[in-house]
Chain A
Amino acid sequence: MSAIFKRDLRAYFKSPLGYVYLAAFILVLNIYFYIMNVYSGSCDLQNIFSFIVTMCVFLIPILTMRTFSEDYKQKTDQLLLTAPVRLSGIVLGKFFAALVVFLIGVCITLVYVVIVATWGTLEFATVLGNYVAICATAMAFISIGVFISSLTQNQLVAAVVTVAVFLGLYLLDYSYSLMNATWAKNLIYYFSMFRRYNDFTQGIFSFADLIFYLSVAGVFVFLTVRMLERKRWS
């Protein structure tokens, strides 16, 4: 697993992909921080985190589109699948490589934390909770992206489908406020990836939601493993 993790992580920075991704992520986040915090003189960093979760819709697909598609295309999947490595090791290696690139981007927010702590008042516990939560949320999104990438050998198709799925989830969240019936609200909340994050931004560390994100990640990592297995039998 560690060999695949290392290779995939390096691969992000062998092509412009990793740099372009990080540049876009940091640029947008900086603008957001300037407007929401610096310009409006706010110490509230929670907005940043919920903004990152929204950005996942477009950013995570860029990270995950190539995970398996590229291997299928270059036929290197043949190398991975005939090497003495477990399928779960292959999937997890790629999964964590994408997660680490995402977290490198998130690290920029540490600068904001320092700025706010120096010139304002920082709710340290809330921020810490948000870091844990953003990590779990990213794991859920990345696992879905990795799974979709394992379905096609075309990176572009993988990216477009992943964005579509994430947008669908976003709209599902959006429809929450339009619903009147409690059961419908509950049902939507059950599948919600975005609204669920609100608790964290309000400083509530919800274990149930944390477990939800980690379970989604677990399920899709498992499905990806099954997908690789299935390819052998087709």
Chain B
Amino acid sequence: MIEVSGLTKTYGNKRGITDITFSIDEGEIVGFLGPNGAGKSTTMNVITGYLSATAGAARVAGIDILENPLEAKKHIGYLPQDPPLYLDMTVNEYLDFIYDIKGVKGGMKERKEHIDKVCEMVGISQVRERVINNLSGGYKQRCGLAQALVGDPDVLILDEPTVGLDPKQIIEIRNVIKDLGKNRTIILSTHILQEVSAVCERVLVINNGRLVADDTPTHLSAMLTGDHKLEYRIAGPKDKIIACIRSVDGVKSVTPTVEAEPGAYEYLVESAEHIDARKLIFQSLARAGYPVLLLKNQDLSLEDVFIRLTADKKSPAKGAK
């Protein structure tokens, strides 16, 4: 449904994105993950035809966005990072305008039904008579999403659709996106790992303008929350505890960090990859009589993921087509 090959965009002599290649099948929900400034928005802007690529091509529904922009754009619903709202219009007027500008075919009755449906879907039915400028940030974001949905496009490109929403709204919008994904192809960008795991079937990780991974969220999160880096809080003498944990098979290193409670230190325990040392460590500590007060996986930040991804894979992104 979406094919991107060798996409490169330079701004003057500053590189936006470099040689990005991937393809997305019909009905997939794909997450675009990367820190701010990684090139997510640039890639999306190129796919939607807002920017032109310096090199490479993007095709939507088999149509090249540069060769036949009008046809290609008909297949795309796009929510840019800042929702493109005419603040002086009411929600109704705005969506009417979008309906016209997208050239959706249908009489007055179809128009009303369609816009009613879209408003219902994103939950803005109760604010339709209000001027957009007076709406809260969350509602503005939803209006932006509604705009993308008008005309029932088969491809939705959503640039950080949940930014500015409160936690309850985030969950609602994620559910809306999941629902929409049942019969549409969706790309959504985010810099939040949980969002990708919650919504997407596939993740494209982008960093410094390059595609560094193309993977499933399950695999990605397994990597992130792997059992080989653990944080322990254990009561007892530091030296003896270190020795005790070190004696366990598979443990690579033990590093005490801080004294979190009186007489209890925190330790960072790293075991060899793919070895779950938790049971052995527990038993060993229990035998020695040092109670474990706390045990958790060490959370990797997005940056850590990128460092890992770029370090692990010298070869091109796995599974990239």
> Chain A: residues with CB nearer than 8 A to chain B?
2-4, 6-7, 10-11, 14-15, 74-86, 232-234
Contacts and interface: CB of A to CB of B under 8 A. Distances in A.
A13 to B, nearest CB: 10
A234 B10 CA distance: 8
Interface residues of B, number: 30
B76 A80 contact: no
Contact of A14 (B74, B89, B103): B89
A174 B17 CA distance: 53
B260 interface: no
Nearest to B47: A82
B50 A85 contact: no
A85 to B, nearest CB: 6
- Classify the interface of chain A: helix, strand, loop or mixed: helix
Given A82-B73, A84-B73, A232 B52 contact: yes
Given A84-B73, A84-B74, A78 B50 contact: yes
A74 B85 contact: yes
Given A3-B97, A79-B98, A84-B71, 15 more contacts: A2-B100, A10-B93, A11-B86, A15-B88, A74-B84, A78-B78, A78-B80, A79-B84, A79-B147, A82-B49, A82-B80, A83-B102, A84-B70, A84-B102, A233-B52
Contact of B101 (A4, A74, A77): A4
B320 interface: no
Given A74-B86, A75-B84, A82-B73, A232 B51 contact: yes
B300 interface: no
B275 interface: no
B103 to A, nearest CB: 6
A58 B257 CA distance: 71
**Across chains A and B, which 9 residue pairs bring their CB atoms closest together, nearest first?**
A3-B100, A79-B84, A84-B73, A14-B88, A76-B84, A3-B101, A82-B48, A232-B52, A84-B74
B50 A232 contact: yes
Interface in B81-114: 82, 84-89, 93, 97-98, 100-103
